[in-house]
């Protein structure tokens, strides 16, 4: 698998999730580069751990993870993930287990998203896609996915590009978000062989 896009199912009683709706539109348009796939995951931390390990056992070259940011009005490209989770108000996502704490007891406090996020942001701005950089993906499953995936890559000395994009929960923006993801994937595909990233560095 050359590229992977993941999105989330609805959670906390909502009927839709912006990331899932956008991914469905992207897949329907069939504009992704050859060898790309899409998956929608449940918002459930134990299942997320299992799926991250499954993906990272044979990782794609590029993994673009999508999530919904309900309190944001602008898309956010996350630059790092943190070793924490807080699901006190979402027992379903916690899987009826521990609801807050460290994702990995001996893991680094933070991990950088290992992809050319600054260059991607500039390239998307040239195509009139509004997006900002963020260093705080929260403490829910979005942060967990980015942290655990990059931790697996670091442990196994792998160098896929793994990044997370938060999309605002704006039904009126779905068509724009679909074009954004298509343009981002095409840019990432073209850039994957061009950029040399620095060695992995776990800490913020």
Instruction: Give the pLDDT confidence score for residue 203 in this predicted structure.
Output: 45
pLDDT, tens digit, 9 for 90 and up, residues 92-133: 999 988 999 999 999 999 999 989 999 999 999 999 999 999
Q: Domain boundaries in the chain?
A: 3-191
What is the distance between the alpha carbons of residues 129 and 138, in angstroms, rounded to a whole number? 23
pTM: 0.94
DSSP state of 171: G
Instruction: Give the pLDDT confidence score for residue 49 in this predicted structure.
Output: 98
Instruction: Give the pLDDT confidence score for residue 73 in this predicted structure.
Output: 83
Q: Are 166 and 75 in contact (CB under 8 A)?
A: yes
Instruction: Give the pLDDT confidence score for residue 204 in this predicted structure.
Output: 40
Instruction: Give the pLDDT confidence score for residue 72 in this predicted structure.
Output: 77
Mean pLDDT of 42-58: 97
Mean pLDDT of 28-55: 97
Q: What percent of the chain has pLDDT over 70?
A: 96
pLDDT, tens digit, 9 for 90 and up, residues 174-203: 999 999 999 999 999 999 877 766 555 544
Average pLDDT for the chain: 93
The two counts, helices (H) then strands (E), for the chain are: 6, 10
Instruction: Give the pLDDT confidence score for residue 198 in this predicted structure.
Output: 57
Instruction: Give the pLDDT confidence score for residue 114 in this predicted structure.
Output: 86
Quickly state the pLDDT bin for 157 (edges 50, 70, 90): confident
Instruction: Give the pLDDT confidence score for residue 196 in this predicted structure.
Output: 63
Q: Are 99 and 87 in contact (CB under 8 A)?
A: yes
Quickly state the pLDDT bin for 68 (edges 50, 70, 90): very high
What is the distance between the alpha carbons of residues 34 and 57, in angstroms, rounded to a whole number? 21
CATH architecture of 3-191: 3-Layer(aba) Sandwich (3.40)
């Amino acid at each position: 698998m050359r590229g992977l896009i993941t999105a989330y199912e609805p959670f906390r009683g909502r009927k839709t999730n912006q990331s899932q709706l956008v991914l469905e539109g992207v897949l329907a348009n069939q504009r992704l580069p050859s060898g790309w796939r899409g998956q929608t995951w449940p918002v459930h931390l134990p299942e997320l751990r299992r799926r991250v390990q499954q993906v990272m056992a044979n990782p794609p070259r590029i993994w673009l993870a999508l999530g919904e940011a309900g309190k944001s009005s602008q898309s956010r490209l996350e630059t790092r993930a943190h070793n924490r989770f807080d699901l006190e108000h979402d027992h379903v996502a916690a899987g009826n287990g521990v609801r807050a704490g460290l994702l990995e007891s001996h893991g680094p406090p933070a991990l950088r998203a290992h992809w050319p996020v600054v260059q991607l942001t500039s390239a998307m701005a040239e195509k009139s896609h509004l997006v900002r950089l963020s260093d705080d993906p929260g403490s829910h499953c979005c942060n967990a996915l980015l942290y655990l995936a990059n931790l697996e890559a670091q442990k196994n000395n792998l160098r896929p590009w793994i990044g997370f994009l938060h999309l605002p929960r704006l039904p009126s923006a779905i068509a724009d978000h679909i074009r954004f993801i298509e343009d981002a994937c095409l840019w990432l595909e073209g850039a994957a062989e061009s950029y040399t990233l620095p060695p992995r560095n776990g800490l913020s």
